[in-house]
Amino acid sequence: MPFGERRMKVLALPDFQADYGFHGLLTGLYELEGIDVYEYPHLQSLRGGSDIGYDLPGNPGAGNTGCPSYLSPAPLPAPLHSKEEIFDTFPNFDLVVMGIRDYSRRGIDELRQAKGVSSDRVPLVIYDADDSDWIDRDLISRFKPFCFFKRELTDQYPLAAYTHDYNMPIFPLPFSAFTRSFPKPEGPDRDTRYDIFLSLGRTHPSRDVLLGAFLDAVGRDHICSPERAWIATNGNSPMWQEHAYGHLLHNLLPWSEYMMAQGQSLITASIRGFGRDALHALEAFLCGPLVLYCEPGLHIPYPFKDEEHCVFFSEDCLNVQRLLRYFLEEHEHREMIAAQGQQHCLDHHSTIARADYLISICSKLRAGEKVDPGEFGL
């Protein structure tokens, strides 16, 4: 426990709008032992309900956000601390974690103004879980965190360069795997329905390239029968009509069905979406098939390694068919890498692992210690 025998008090400031990164971090904080989580505002959308009446731009009070599909099977526990207790305790938390969206900003502003507290009295860290590696300097200047976590930090620059450029500690904090809402892994003896599985929304052009490579592998190269392949994308995708084997496509499944089907496949693949850090990658590793992985070019704690946890393929997807054929034939090699990738995901990329990573770094910094990135696989 970072603070000795007493429980650590952490205030989390989420946003009503769906935020995979912050939701994962908040989930992990609730899962960690020795942490008292204070949440403001209290989000019913993370507990199977709906948040109704928050403001939308130009339409105040008209917001309505339901429980996200990845949390529906196992919603977060009800908050243990009331708004009044949060205001009474502020700013005497061990850590305050805010996102970058509107309600996170409103929350910290409301607390500061109510208590007349200056920035330097709040042990604040900011987690920016949005796409891209752009960091808002004005956000840092306004809220004055002692540490900043970013979902996507390109590995074109060393971490030390980010810290030097922003004159404060900057660390990566990618998406996390929602183990809380997923059944226990079944291991290499699980029943399989599909040789290959790929289910991708059309959030980046490279996804169509990967979908096309999988369609070619089945329709043209016959690496498996169409009945043993599940290749899915948006129902309005032009690939249904324009690709030579578009008739092999399926519609996207609801989240729970998609996760179960992926877990009953031998091989799947992941490539970037809106951002380079794709939640789909972690869902793929969590489910247990061999993951063909397009390396995202980001700083990632304990990254997935080629031929150890996954198999890398190039973004042009030219080597995908060869890899699919080889690993469908080489059963022991495939299952060894798949099992190691799943275990690595559970050990280092779950929601609780992400929360522990943030708490460990923040505890060291608050104690005046230097943080060695190598300690976290960076």
Domain extent, residue 221, equals: 181-348
pLDDT digits over 113-158, tens only? 999 988 888 999 999 999 988 999 999 999 999 999 999 999 999 9
Residue 224 lies in a domain: yes
Contacts of 60 (CB under 8 A, 6+ apart): none
Looking at the structure, tell me whether residues 306 and 158 fall in a common domain. no
The candidate with the shortest Cα–Cα distance to 98, out of 49, 166, 144, is: 144
3-state secondary structure the chain: CCCCCCCEEEEEECCCCCCHHHHHHHHHHHHCCCEEEEECCCCHHHCCCEEECCCECCECCCCEEECCCCCCCCCCCCCCCCHHHHHHHCCCCCEEEECCCHHHHHHHHHHHHHHCCCHHHCCEEEEECCCCCCCCHHHHHHHCCCEEEECCCECCCCHHHHHHHHCCCEEECCCCECHHHCCCCCCCCCCCCEEEEEECCCCCHHHHHHHHHHHHHHHCCCCCCHHHEEEEECCCCCHHHHCCCHHHEEECCCHHHHHHHHHCEEEEEECCCCCCCCHHHHHHHHHCCEEEECCCCECCCCCCCECCCEEECCCCCCCHHHHHHHHHHCHHHHHHHHHHHHHHHHHHCEHHHHHHHHHHHHHHHHCCCCCCHHHHCC
Looking at the structure, tell me whether residues 343 and 365 fall in a common domain. no
- The predicted pLDDT at position 169 comes to 96
Amino acid at 83: K
Residue 342 lies in a domain: yes
Looking at the structure, tell me whether residues 372 and 232 fall in a common domain. no
The CATH number linked to 307 is 3.40.50.2000
- The predicted pLDDT at position 186 comes to 58
If you average pLDDT over residues 46-56, what whole number do you get? Answer: 88
Angle at 134 between CA 282 and CA 22, to 5 degrees: 45
> If 0-12 CB within 10 Å is exposed, 13-18 middle and 19+ buried, where does residue 47 land?
middle
Looking at the structure, tell me whether residues 13 and 160 fall in a common domain. yes
161: Cα within 13 Å, side-chain hemisphere: 7
Residue 2 lies in a domain: no
Q: pTM for this structure?
A: 0.93
Looking at the structure, tell me whether residues 144 and 185 fall in a common domain. no
Whether residue 311 is predicted with pLDDT greater than 60 in this model: the reply is: yes
- The predicted pLDDT at position 185 comes to 47
- The predicted pLDDT at position 184 comes to 58
The CATH number linked to 122 is 3.40.50
Looking at the structure, tell me whether residues 304 and 248 fall in a common domain. yes
At residue 5 the predicted structure's pLDDT band, cuts being 50, 70 and 90, is low
Whether residue 187 is predicted with pLDDT greater than 60 in this model: the reply is: no
Looking at the structure, tell me whether residues 195 and 331 fall in a common domain. yes
If you average pLDDT over residues 267-280, what whole number do you get? Answer: 93
At residue 192 the predicted structure's pLDDT band, cuts being 50, 70 and 90, is confident
Count of the separate structural domains present in the chain: 2
CA dist list (Å): 309 to 22, 273, 280, 290, 316: 26, 21, 16, 8, 21
If you average pLDDT over residues 30-53, what whole number do you get? Answer: 92
Looking at the structure, tell me whether residues 335 and 209 fall in a common domain. yes
